[in-house]
Amino acid sequence: MVKELIINSAPNGVTIALLQDKQLVELTTEHINNNYAVGDIYLGRIKKIMPGLNAAFVDVGYEKDAFLHYLDLGPQVQSLIKLTKIVKNGSYKEKLLNNFKLEEDINKSGKISEVLNRNMLLPVQIAKEPISTKGPRLSSDLSIAGRFVVLVPFSESISISKKIKSNTERVRLKKIVESIKPKNFGVIIRTVSEGKGVAELQKDLLDLISRWETISARLDATEPSKKILGEMGRTSTILRDLLNADFTNIHVNDTAIFEEIRMYVRDISPELEKIVKLYKHKEPIFEHFGIEKQIKSTFGRTVNLPGGAYLVIEHTEALHVVDVNSGNRTANPENQEENAFMVNKEAAKEIARQLRLRDMGGIVVVDFIDMHKPNNRKDLFDYLKQQMALDRAKHTILPPSKFGLVQITRQRVRPEMNIVTNEKCPACDGTGEIKASIVLMDDIENNLNYILSEQNEKSVTLTVHPYIEAYIKKGIISRQWKWFLNYGKWIKVKSSPSYYLTEFHFMNSKDEEIKL
């Protein structure tokens, strides 16, 4: 599987497209003003305790208070509260926790009012970005993620990803981490650590320890509801979690981001530095790599499949519904079962891709085409699980119900990617009617007269549809010559096939559009 990352930098943010075998599978947008990304750590102020919900509302500077449930406090929240108090009092000068005495774990079935009180200051981490009308979801069980390991303060446990199956490897990794981890810090060993040496794991852990030291240093000076430490950008996060030898290219159209990514890749995988490339062509980067077309064909309500079948995707407040239709795909009536199975498999692969691409979370209900053979239903269920295995978000897939519906729950930590693919008609502005073509030349000449007489433009270029260009230049004494005789200036006329019939624009000498 060949993977490529295409990064498009624009004034309002950065859009990152992940391609697998040239097919778009993930699309994420990192807005410049997004101050509430998953992983960011804030110094929250407890605004309100809600005993009925066993939760608290916390001020982290967002327009709506963030939500912190008792189960998200973490077992060692008392140690975090204690550290915050003594740091704020100026009586704790260390950056690590070597001489820090841990408090007892809180009761799993306790009450939030027994732990927190109003106006208390507590470092919290964004677990879910603001979605719809809801504020951020928080956790005070802090963790700092690296490429190979995750650092967890106020703990001594070492846990290993369940995806690492070899007992020998699990023992080896645990021994390495035990020998290098600092006191009063726990470590989660990630799947990508498998086969890595001491030097790589130690470097990653030292980077995380440095980030914790930054938190300790900033905690004293940070004002309530302000950010203490930001998570890495989405680009670096994706590289941290996904980068491996399968990646063949990382294309970037911005010099600053190119240098940042090249340095980051050099740090984590020096052998892959050469795959980071700066895109320099005039054509927009997403158009050059065919991503724009894939976005337009993929994000609509209806998604067509190669064999003629199609999906209909509906979004409601509570859940997402996906309906599988065979469309114009024809099959022998005697082989209807086999045809339904093939369409469903094709749909299952596309559904797994759509969930990643749109970052759809919550409950997803899929209505596959009915099949009567139990073996086919089981094979489809196994195939869907296999396709969903590539998804990094936590998810659960239930077997088909008696009505043939498959239910999927998928973790949602940031707003769903929603792109409107239906475009408003530029000719009629969505009204269904266009201006009478007989008055088009009057409009052009009135605007031209205003630009030359009132705005005193020295050089003007008129860009129109090719048919209109031909009309303006037609004849020995053409419209273009009449303008020259009238104004004493030669008006350049250019055509653009992409313009609709009655569209026209005026450009100045710098090729900038003259606003009318």
Are 499 and 448 in the same domain? yes
Alpha-carbon span 285 to 9, nearest angstrom: 9
Are 267 and 382 in the same domain? no
Residue with tokens 């950065």: 14
What's the rounded mean pLDDT across residues 453-469? 89
pLDDT at residue number 282: 83
Are 111 and 161 in the same domain? yes
State pLDDT tens for residues 256-269: 888 888 888 887 78
Are 355 and 451 in the same domain? no
Alpha-carbon span 397 to 384, nearest angstrom: 9
Are 117 and 256 in the same domain? no
Alpha-carbon span 6 to 418, nearest angstrom: 19
**pLDDT band (50, 70, 90) for residue 331:** low
Asked if residue 337 is part of any domain, the answer here is: yes
Dihedral angle sign, alpha carbons of residues 120, 122, 127, 128 = positive
Asked if residue 417 is part of any domain, the answer here is: no
Give first-to-last CA distance, the chain, whole Å.
51
Are 311 and 374 in the same domain? yes
End of a domain among 229, 257, 273? 229
- Cβ atoms within 10 A of the Cβ of 15, count? 21
Are 48 and 167 in the same domain? yes
Are 203 and 82 in the same domain? yes
pLDDT at residue number 418: 63
Q: Beta strands of 146-237 (E only): which ranges?
A: 149-153, 158-160, 185-189, 227-229
End of a domain among 392, 410, 428? 410
Q: Can you give the CATH number for the domain in which 59 is found?
A: 2.40.50.140
pLDDT at 120 > cutoff 80: yes
Asked if residue 135 is part of any domain, the answer here is: yes
pLDDT at residue number 90: 81
Asked if residue 420 is part of any domain, the answer here is: no
State pLDDT tens for residues 27-48: 887 766 667 778 889 999 999 9
Domain count, the chain: 4
Structural domain that includes position 272: 3-33+234-291
Q: Are 73 and 141 in contact (CB under 8 A)?
A: yes
Asked if residue 513 is part of any domain, the answer here is: no
Are 160 and 103 in the same domain? yes
Q: Are 41 and 123 in contact (CB under 8 A)?
A: yes
Are 116 and 175 in the same domain? yes
Asked if residue 421 is part of any domain, the answer here is: no
Q: Looking at residue 368, what DSSP letter applies?
A: P
Model confidence, pTM: 0.65
Contacts of residue 213, Cβ cutoff 8 Å, sequence gap at least 6: 95, 96
What's the rounded mean pLDDT across residues 350-369? 90
Are 214 and 74 in the same domain? yes
What's the rounded mean pLDDT across residues 490-514? 88
More confident residue, 83 or 403: 83
Are 93 and 145 in the same domain? yes
